Amino acid sequence: MLQRDVSIAAALLLLCVQCLHGSALPAVSSYEFTAYRMQQYNLAQQKHGCRGAIVVAEARSADEPVLTRRCIIMKVPDFTTEKYLEAQRQKAAAILILLPKNISSIPHDTIQSFMVSESEALRKGTLMPVYVVPEDEQLLFMYEEVKQAAATRTSSIFIRVLRSMVTATAFQILVSNNVPIKPFTDTTLVTLEGVLPGTGEDAPTIVITAHYDSYGLAPWLSYGADSNGSGVTILLELARLFQKLFSSPSTRPPYNLMFSLTGGGKYNFLGTKRWIEENLDHAESSLLHDNVAFVLCLDTLANSDKLYVHVSRPPKPDSPMHYFIQQLEEVVSSRFPSVKVGLVHKKINLVESTVVWEHERYSLRRIPSFSLSHVEDPKSELRGSVLDTMSQVDFRKLKRNGVIIAEALARYMFNLSDKGSPKDVQIFKGQMDFHDGRMSSLMAFLTSVPRATQLLDKEPSHIVQVNSLEHEFKRCLQQVHRHTFRQDRRDPDITFFDQMNQPVVMYRVKPAAFDLFLGGCIAAYLGIVYYAILNFGYLYTKLKAAVKYKHQ
């Protein structure tokens, strides 16, 4: 009987040790990946983004009650304003957000919620490091493990302690780069301009402009499909189509058509500001000096059945801008009745040091201008998110918005309404139509690399993208100029910071209680073996008697 008890005890201990061995994760013991840090910049003496980079902390789920000095692992649905603020309040060590590779798989409501939280996080600075990383198998496994651990902690104390000692696996997140974060102010902004000259000596000028940079929680993951890849795509198509009209003397209108792509749009439209200053204050002759009919700014046009005309002051009746808006409304009412056009009037607050729409840069210089967008609120989360990818673009609506703008421009420049042309007349059709394939190719090209301002003049693939935009201008336009603006290092308009992509190591570890438990198991096993050796004679006699009894 004693021998059987000893055997059972030894078997239980061996089974326990085997369970400990079997609980080892199918993941590797350490895993290195690249994570992308949240924005960090200073604009107009205000600090934005996170100012921390170093992380040495245990990974925990956002559902845990205690987050102090922990690295919180979140998926897109987990990242809410409430949880972000709670992590700050508890002084969490860091936040690591797992971004799915297929954004289209995320429900629309979840995307909207994430964008709102992302926008709130970017408005204020924080010392807590925030990283974003694309999901992979190892990171998803870690996420599930920390989620299960959080769920177990809601059970009884005995079960929690037992699981912590026996089966729990912790993950240590380490960003070991100890180099201090350094600012840099040598960022250059590039603005491209090109012209289609009209007929006449002193023809009025229409300016069509869009900013081409992107913005989001992490610069290295900001692809800006809708904001503002959509504006750039429509602008390039307008340049191609109107070049055909301007190339023939019989269809050349009595207007100069100027196109510009501006940098720094996500940072107070600094590229637009410097370009206007160069044209008005430093250039001896410029189409912006006088006789500008209006400036049309394209911003976020790849979705929705609404078009908002944003102005700093309501256009005066009989003014060119008022007449163009009328043509825009006529095109919409006659051909696209499902689209709703609205006028949004927002005065420029001269006390504020920042502007929210590109047209406000022109309005400050008393140049008639307006922005066209499907976004009503200038502070909308849609204008800057890492989830603003190709999956958020409705190409049918993007093309429709481009057609509306092109037809309204043609009606205005050729004065078709006064000439009695039907309201539903189509200028751009057949060979003059917007090409679906070209628009999708342009959008794919624009979203092939992140277009964050701090990357565009430093990374080779990003420099190539700006050069390609310039090449596209030269194919369609005349008098193409590339304006490169450098900041004053003593008094920069904007200051960026380095270490925006960091190598991160995830270590798989066991809690300290595990060592105690394992030591206890080993001690108990050795004690049983020692007892069996000391009482070998007694055990042998018992065993021999048991065998003899069995044979009888």
pLDDT tens-place string over residues 195-243? 999 998 889 999 999 999 999 999 999 999 999 999 999 999 999 999 9
Tell me, yes or no, whether 257 and 137 share the same domain.
Answer: no
Please report the pLDDT score of residue 8 as a whole number: 46
Q: If you average pLDDT over every residue of the chain, what do you get?
A: 88
Mean pLDDT of 248-264: 95
C-alpha distances (whole Å) from 508 to each of 62, 98, 120, 293 are 19, 18, 33, 65
Please report the pLDDT score of residue 512 as a whole number: 54
Structure tokens at 338: 């499902």
Please report the pLDDT score of residue 11 as a whole number: 46
pLDDT tens-digit profile of 478-509? Answer: 999 999 999 888 889 999 999 999 999 999 87
Please report the pLDDT score of residue 319 as a whole number: 95
Tell me, yes or no, whether 407 and 384 share the same domain.
Answer: yes
Residue 105 domain flag: yes
Q: Is the pLDDT of residue 27 over 80?
A: no
- Considering the chain, what percentage of its residues have pLDDT values greater than 90? 68
The CATH number assigned to the domain holding 282 equals 3.40.630
Q: What is the length of the chain? A: 552
Please report the pLDDT score of residue 22 as a whole number: 39
Residue 552 domain flag: no
Structure tokens at 322: 């008022």
Residue 410 domain flag: yes
Structure tokens at 27: 């993941």
Q: Which helix (H) or strand (E) holds 457?
A: none
pTM: 0.87
3-state SS string for 273-305? HHHHHHHHHHCCCCCCCCCEEEEEEECCCCCCC
Integer Cα distance of 165 and 292 in angstroms: 75
Q: Is the pLDDT of residue 518 over 80?
A: no
Mean pLDDT of 172-185: 89
Residue 159 domain flag: yes
Higher pLDDT, 339 or 488: 339
Residue 435 domain flag: yes
Range of the domain at 476: 187-486
* Total number of domains in the chain: 2
Mean pLDDT of 357-370: 96
Q: Is the pLDDT of residue 110 over 60?
A: yes
The dihedrals phi and psi of 72, each to the nearest 5 degrees, come to: -90, 125
Please report the pLDDT score of residue 510 as a whole number: 67
Dihedral sign computed on CA atoms, order 178, 179, 185, 190:
negative
* Cβ neighbourhood burial of 242 (10 Å; 0-12, 13-18, 19+): buried
Tell me, yes or no, whether 455 and 511 share the same domain.
Answer: no
Tell me, yes or no, whether 277 and 382 share the same domain.
Answer: yes
How big is the CA angle at 345 (ends 343 and 348), to the nearest 5 degrees? 150
pLDDT tens-digit profile of 128-139? Answer: 999 999 999 999
HSE-up (13 A, CA, CB side) for residue 80: 9
Tell me, yes or no, whether 408 and 328 share the same domain.
Answer: yes
Q: Is the pLDDT of residue 399 over 60?
A: yes
Reported as a pLDDT band with limits 50, 70 and 90, residue 409 is very high
Please report the pLDDT score of residue 400 as a whole number: 97
Q: How many helices (H) and strands (E) does the chain have?
A: 15, 19
pLDDT tens-digit profile of 60-75? Answer: 999 888 899 999 999 9
Integer Cα distance of 122 and 105 in angstroms: 25
Q: Is the pLDDT of residue 331 over 60?
A: yes
Give the list of residues 6+ apart from residue 450 with CB closer than 8 angstroms, or none.
Answer: 214, 219, 220, 221, 222, 223, 224, 462
Reported as a pLDDT band with limits 50, 70 and 90, residue 439 is very high
Q: Is the pLDDT of residue 533 over 90?
A: no
Please report the pLDDT score of residue 107 as a whole number: 93
Reported as a pLDDT band with limits 50, 70 and 90, residue 1 is very low
- CB contact at 8 A, 293 and 368: yes
Tell me, yes or no, whether 209 and 251 share the same domain.
Answer: yes
Tell me, yes or no, whether 481 and 508 share the same domain.
Answer: no
Please report the pLDDT score of residue 513 as a whole number: 57
**Is the preceding peptide bond at 415 cis, omega within 30 degrees of 0?**
no
Please report the pLDDT score of residue 17 as a whole number: 43
Q: Is the pLDDT of residue 164 over 80?
A: no
The dihedrals phi and psi of 372, each to the nearest 5 degrees, come to: -115, 125
Reported as a pLDDT band with limits 50, 70 and 90, residue 24 is very low
Tell me, yes or no, whether 237 and 177 share the same domain.
Answer: no
Mean pLDDT of 294-299: 98
Please report the pLDDT score of residue 532 as a whole number: 76
Q: Is the pLDDT of residue 249 over 60?
A: yes
Maximum CA extent, the chain: 127
Residue 3 domain flag: no
Tell me, yes or no, whether 245 and 163 share the same domain.
Answer: no
Tell me, yes or no, whether 333 and 478 share the same domain.
Answer: yes
Tell me, yes or no, whether 314 and 462 share the same domain.
Answer: yes
Residue 261 domain flag: yes
pLDDT tens-digit profile of 34-59? Answer: 999 999 999 977 889 999 999 999 99
Integer Cα distance of 70 and 92 in angstroms: 5
Tell me, yes or no, whether 149 and 240 share the same domain.
Answer: no
Q: Is the pLDDT of residue 157 over 70?
A: no
Residue 7 domain flag: no
